[in-house]
Amino acid sequence: MSKPKVAFYWCASCGGCEEAVVDLAEKILKVVEAVDVVFWPVALDFKKKDVEAMPDASIAVSFINGSVRLSEQEEMVHLLRRKSQLVVAFGSCAHLGGIPGLANFWNKEAIFRRAYFTTPSTVNPDKVVPQEKIVVEGKELTLPAFYDTVRALDQVIDVDYYLPGCAPPPQLVWNAVVAILEGKLPPKGSVLSPNKSLCDDCDRNKTKPEKLSIKEFKRPWEIMLDPEKCFLAQGVICMGPATRTGCEERCISANMPCRGCFGPTDQVYDQGAKFLSALASLIEAKDEKEIEKIVETIVDPAGTFYRFSLPKSILGRRKMEAIK
Amino acid sequence: MSQRITIDPITRLEGHGKIEIFLNEAGEVERAFLQVPELRGFEQFAVGRPVEEMPRITPRICGVCPTAHHMASTKCVDAVFHVEPTPTARKIRELIYNAFMMEDHTLHFFFLGGPDFVVGPQAPAAERNILGVIGKVGLEIGGQVIKIRREVRDIINYLGGKVIHPVCGLPGGVSKGLDEEHRLQFLEVARNAVEFARFALKIFDDVVLKNKEYVDLVLSDAYKLTTYYMGLVDANNRVNFYDGWIRVVDPEGKEFAKFKPADYLDHIAEHVEPWTYIKFPYLKKLGWRGFIEGKETSIYRVAPLARLNASDGMATPLAQQEYERMYEVLGGKPAHNTLAFHWARLIEALQAAEAMVALLEDKEITSPDIRRIPTDTPTEGVGVVEAPRGTLIHHYKTDERGLVTEANLIVATMNNSAAITMSIEKAARAFIKGGKISEGLLNLAEMAFRPYDPCHACGTHALPGDMPLIINIYDYRGELIEILKRD
């Protein structure tokens, strides 16, 4: 029997997801033995022709990381969808939009203006901006189109499974590979990590009082962080209550609070809204004014509660008319 | 007949990269372009974020060198709050940083740059990868490569939480300390790392330096580019990865500038071209002079060889010996030989490993005094480190609550963007003659940018095969006449 064909592709991503695969370390040799990697890490136009030449559904599984920001990425993921039996959204960006999704607080115009005009080191008296098509000394050069909005993978194509995390821990990647190879997959649409909150697995949970009563939020730099105690009990925002577990509490092991890269559990659509509702029950205040005062100590609620999930939230993006 | 050659993708350079080479009617190379078809806008969406979160946001610029962004950002946040880390916190940061430099550099040698030499530039493509290297040096050593990478990365994992996107940096210190048990455990790893780095240099010696053909290649004009050089140095002008002054030397090796990172705007400017999303940094005082090399250029290079050129020596004894030996072979300083970046990288890996040992032998690193809480109102700051791929600058301004109002980033590989374009053009000129494209062009062109370590060392070049590289040749009507492929 021929080995299953596997593809890897990256969209708007940092390469950390590829590193996560390499971090399988010794196990990677087993992966190479078991599968036939037909496409990794990716190619653009011309490798695309090779994929186009493959029969539809001939790739057993495509692991796609990164969010979708450029025309080229959009075309490529449609192509891979057609050629693949399974598509796995690999990592936070493909799953939820990820950190690059924070760009949805702005648009192409604002991003270009900053990058090419207003950054203090940029010297651009002629107001040159990169063009999708340009003729330089008689030679035509092209660049992919840059969209206003960053999207998660399932906002562009149908996705079968999600492997969460920024980046996904090697053990989780390994579990997913084994599940696929053995055909022991959960129902379509599943996130391949346990369906419970980070707090359920967190060692510090036992230090969380029955009823939290927060009177003021602290930023991580403002206090000496207790290495044993629940962050929320210290008044520090920790996304644990609204975040799925499976990350091995890596940030918490370094004595830093969770920022939510695993996204919400199955029961929740909007991670930020879930966190807000969790938060409401933690605030100790007598009246509205006091609530307001306490909430004001959260300095960047949108950028914190939706750190990894803005494109997949009910907000999706900021309305740019509102800025002007 | 005029031709157009497209090399796409070349590999990861701050994301993706693509090379377009244009030939004139006589079939000689007229112009080469390195295009980076990607932009993500971190400088814009940083606005509004709490500045202490920047070290947790900016590593996503690059998952291959997240530790560099994390550290540059953390130092920038120190500056914004006008706070210095405690001595122990600084040692922990330097330990993490040197561990990162060591694993990134050595692995580059075995996974990406090395195969060209260890297996050979003319070897079949299917062998020119880590498996080929293992075939040549033996499985036991291949296993050691994987093991040392894992062990050194485990140090970052332990202290930073995650090796891919560490989280431990806070203004005035770090979030987690080091206990005695781990100090001893990591000290052993560090000592092994020194041995491993020396061993990698020995392989370079045996395979490259004892082979005249390779030495000639390293010294050849096709792989030479005359530019300025930039790197961080300590008070004695020795190479430093974590902190110091930015020093620039001219193409003859004379000091051109030496400045505090906070003054970078007086010295570095960025030029915009309409055909790529990446910008081209140059020396501001000289002005943008285009893609030219030599005395008249305003382009500087960064990363291993540039750092060695810009310094007076290494900061550790074993690395210093290797530094002296390298310049002896290359015929003095500065060396303009692009392929010597590979050599310089191994010398830096040795310094990083030696630095790890020194930091871990110092018991102060286990002190619980790891944070200093800022008391000043946050304003503005600059943070700089030497990333494996070059000088990395983060610059933030905030409001009085410490929310970012402006951010500017000059990212390591970006500093080399003009030089990479020019190196490729030069190699292409040397190997494409009269419209004849030699079969070896593929790898020879690839070898012109690989010394700059365009990120994705492992993912692309290692397993299961090789980095895909395709050159399509079009005639003047734009019709595809030939495909050269190596994958």
Residue B282 Ramachandran class (φ > 0 left, ψ -120 to 50 alpha, else beta): beta
Lowest mean pLDDT among A48-52, A77-81, B40-44, B416-420: A48-52
Classified as helix, coil or strand, B116 is: helix
Lowest mean pLDDT among B6-20, B120-134, B400-414: B6-20
CA-CA-CA-CA torsion for B32, B38, B43, B44, nearest 10 degrees?
130
Could you tell me if A70 lies within 8 Å of chain B, comparing CB atoms?
Answer: yes
Q: pLDDT-based confidence at B241, cuts 50/70/90? A: very high
pLDDT surpasses 50 at B459:
no
A86 touches A180 (CB < 8 A): yes
**Token pair listed for B290:** 């285009």
Lowest mean pLDDT among B41-50, B250-259, B266-275, B421-430: B421-430
Q: What is the pLDDT of residue B466?
A: 32
pLDDT digits (tens, 9 = 90+) for B60-92: 988 888 999 999 999 999 999 999 999 999 999
**Token pair listed for A201:** 């697995």
Mean pLDDT across the stretch A185-211?
94
Mean pLDDT across the stretch A48-76?
90
A141 touches A128 (CB < 8 A): no
pLDDT digits (tens, 9 = 90+) for A16-39: 898 888 788 777 767 777 888 777
Residues in A closer than 8 angstroms to B456, CB to CB, are 15, 18, 41
Residue B172 Ramachandran class (φ > 0 left, ψ -120 to 50 alpha, else beta): left
For a pLDDT cut of 70, what percent of chain A falls above it?
95
Classified as helix, coil or strand, B370 is: coil
Kindly report the backbone phi and psi dihedral angles of residue B227, in degrees, each rounded to the nearest multiple of 5, phi listed first.
-145, 180
CA-CA-CA-CA torsion for B130, B135, B138, B142, nearest 10 degrees?
20
Q: How many angstroms away from the CA of A285 is the closest CA of chain B?
A: 23
Residues in B closer than 8 angstroms to A306, CB to CB, are none
What one-letter code names the amino acid at B343? W
Peptide bond before A125: cis, by omega within 30 degrees of 0? no
pLDDT digits (tens, 9 = 90+) for A88-138: 999 999 999 999 999 999 999 999 999 999 999 999 999 999 999 999 888
- Report the candidate in A153, A158, A300 with the shortest Cα–Cα distance to residue A217: A300
How far apart are the C-alpha atoms of A145 and A129, rounded to whole Å?
13
Classified as helix, coil or strand, A153 is: helix
Q: What is the pLDDT of residue B428?
A: 83
**Residue with more model confidence, B62 or A45:** B62
Lowest mean pLDDT among B136-145, B382-391, B476-485: B476-485
Yes or no, beta carbons of B165 and A42 under 8 Å apart: no
By 3-state DSSP, what share of chain A in percent is helix, strand and coil, each rounded to 5? 40, 15, 45
Q: What is the pLDDT of residue A142?
A: 87
B232 touches B386 (CB < 8 A): yes
Q: How many angstroms away from the CA of A78 is the closest CA of chain B?
A: 19
How far apart are the C-alpha atoms of B151 and B157, rounded to whole Å?
10
Overall residue count recorded for chain A in this entry: 324
Peptide bond before A209: cis, by omega within 30 degrees of 0? no
C-alpha A144 chain-centroid distance? 22
For chains A and B, CB pairs below 8 A equal 260
Residue A135: closest C-alpha in chain B: B275
How far apart are the C-alpha atoms of A81 and A52, rounded to whole Å?
11
Q: Residue B18: enclosing H or E segment and its boundaries?
A: strand B18-23
Picking from A137, A146, A254, the nearest residue to B159 by CB comes out as: A254
**Token pair listed for B122:** 């003319």
Mean pLDDT across the stretch A204-225?
92
Query: What DSSP character marks residue B113?
Result: I
Could you tell me if A137 lies within 8 Å of chain B, comparing CB atoms?
Answer: yes
Q: What is the pLDDT of residue A143?
A: 87
Mean pLDDT across the stretch B99-109?
89
pLDDT digits (tens, 9 = 90+) for A252-288: 999 999 999 999 999 999 999 999 999 888 888 888 8
Pairing of strands B3-7, B18-23: antiparallel
Residue A297: closest C-alpha in chain B: B401
Q: What is the pLDDT of residue B131?
A: 63
Lowest mean pLDDT among A174-178, B4-8, B91-95, B468-472: B468-472
Q: pLDDT-based confidence at A242, cuts 50/70/90? A: very high
Token look-up 């992919």 returns A144
Kindly report the backbone phi and psi dihedral angles of residue B161, in degrees, each rounded to the nearest multiple of 5, phi listed first.
90, -60
Q: Residue A52: enclosing H or E segment and its boundaries?
A: helix A45-53
**Token pair listed for B394:** 């983060």
For a pLDDT cut of 70, what percent of chain B falls above it?
84
Identify the bridge partners of residue B337 per DSSP, sorted by sequence position.
B224
**Exposure string (b/e) for B84-114, b if CB count within 10 Å is 16 or more?**
ebbebbbbbbbbbbbbbbbbbbbbbbbbbbb
Could you tell me if A283 lies within 8 Å of chain B, comparing CB atoms?
Answer: no
How far apart are the C-alpha atoms of B202 and A202, rounded to whole Å?
47
Could you tell me if A131 lies within 8 Å of chain B, comparing CB atoms?
Answer: yes
Pairing of strands A139-142, B3-7: unpaired
Mean pLDDT across the stretch A240-244?
97
Q: What is the pLDDT of residue B102?
A: 96
B302 touches B415 (CB < 8 A): yes
Yes or no, beta carbons of A141 and B64 under 8 Å apart: no
Residues in B closer than 8 angstroms to A106, CB to CB, are 41, 44-45
What one-letter code names the amino acid at A91? G
Q: What is the pLDDT of residue B487?
A: 36
Yes or no, beta carbons of A255 and B168 under 8 Å apart: yes
Residue A100: closest C-alpha in chain B: B40
- Report the candidate in A138, A196, A40, A122 with the shortest Cα–Cα distance to residue B270: A122
* Helical H segments across B49-179, by residue range: 54-57, 66-81, 87-108, 114-118, 130-137, 139-160
pLDDT digits (tens, 9 = 90+) for A141-171: 888 898 999 999 999 999 999 999 999 999 9
Give pTM, 2 decimals: 0.93
Could you tell me if A121 lies within 8 Å of chain B, comparing CB atoms?
Answer: yes
By 3-state DSSP, what share of chain B in percent is helix, strand and coil, each rounded to 5? 45, 20, 35
Q: How many angstroms away from the CA of B210 is the closest CA of chain A?
A: 32
Q: pLDDT-based confidence at B457, cuts 50/70/90? A: very low
Yes or no, beta carbons of B33 and A98 under 8 Å apart: no
Lowest mean pLDDT among A53-62, B119-128, B444-453, B460-469: B460-469
Mean pLDDT across the stretch B90-112?
91
Kindly report the backbone phi and psi dihedral angles of residue B381, in degrees, each rounded to the nearest multiple of 5, phi listed first.
-160, 165
Picking from B50, B52, B146, the nearest residue to A26 by CB comes out as: B146
What is the interface pTM, i.e. ipTM, of the complex? 0.95
What one-letter code names the amino acid at A259? R
Classified as helix, coil or strand, A158 is: coil
Pairing of strands B469-474, B480-486: antiparallel
- Report the candidate in B115, B117, B120, B116 with the shortest Cα–Cα distance to residue B131: B115
Yes or no, beta carbons of A42 and B9 under 8 Å apart: yes
Classified as helix, coil or strand, B5 is: strand
H, E, C per residue of B68-89: HHHHHHHHHHHHHHCCCCCHHH
**Token pair listed for B385:** 């480190």
Classified as helix, coil or strand, B260 is: coil
What one-letter code names the amino acid at B365? I
Q: What is the pLDDT of residue B349?
A: 97
Residues in B closer than 8 angstroms to A136, CB to CB, are 31, 33, 274-275
pLDDT surpasses 90 at A212:
no
pLDDT surpasses 70 at A1:
no
Mean pLDDT across the stretch B272-287?
93
Residue B144: closest C-alpha in chain A: A26
Q: How many angstroms away from the CA of A219 is the closest CA of chain B?
A: 8
Mean pLDDT across the stretch B184-202?
96
Kindly report the backbone phi and psi dihedral angles of residue A309, in degrees, each rounded to the nearest multiple of 5, phi listed first.
-130, 20
pLDDT surpasses 50 at B371:
yes
Which residues have a Cβ under 8 Å from the Cβ of A242 and sit 6 or more positions away?
A197, A260, A264, A268, A271, A272, A274, A275, A278, A305
What one-letter code names the amino acid at A315? L
Mean pLDDT across the stretch B163-174?
97
How far apart are the C-alpha atoms of B403 and B307, rounded to whole Å?
34
Q: How far apart are the first and last CA of chain A?
A: 61
How far apart are the C-alpha atoms of A246 and A244, rounded to whole Å?
7
Q: pLDDT-based confidence at B465, cuts 50/70/90? A: very low
